[in-house]
Amino acid sequence: MPRIPRMLRTDSNQKTVYHVISRTALDGLPFKDAEKDELVRVIKRFSMVYAVEVIGFSIMGNHWHLLTEISPVSMLSDDEVRRRFMLLYTKGTEFPEGQLEHYRERFSSLSWYVKDIK
């Protein structure tokens, strides 16, 4: 049974809080300590790149929960978008100026944030 689509708030100039749940693909492959530690490292990394504050999280044996606060697109200045781009890509990568709005939207997107974590 497919999940119900997430309700996203797109008309706001305020931060919005979301509860995210993700399960492992196979029940026979539970998270062990090493996988949990790596997942926490990945979540921390992408939380610096995206306009996301993790309020709380829980990593269980076969799934994880995040309580996140997402900043809206309007809160990211051009310089902030460029700074976050440099955190995402390797040093020496030049920022594509024609893609400024794309990255502004991306760094305020819950969907992109979760995709990158996974």
Per-residue pLDDT tens over the stretch 39-90: 999 999 999 999 999 999 998 888 899 999 999 999 999 999 999 999 999 7
Task: For residue 62, give Cα distances in angstroms to 5, 25, 52, 95.
Answer: 21, 9, 24, 38
Higher pLDDT, 5 or 93: 93
Measured in degrees and rounded to the nearest 5, phi and psi for residue 15 equal -65, 150
3-class DSSP state of 113: helix
Q: Which domains does the chain have, with CATH numbers?
A: 16-117 (3.30.70)
Q: Could you tell me where the DSSP H helices lie in the chain? A: 33-49, 78-88, 100-106, 110-117
Higher pLDDT, 33 or 3: 33
- Which tokens go with 8? 């996203």
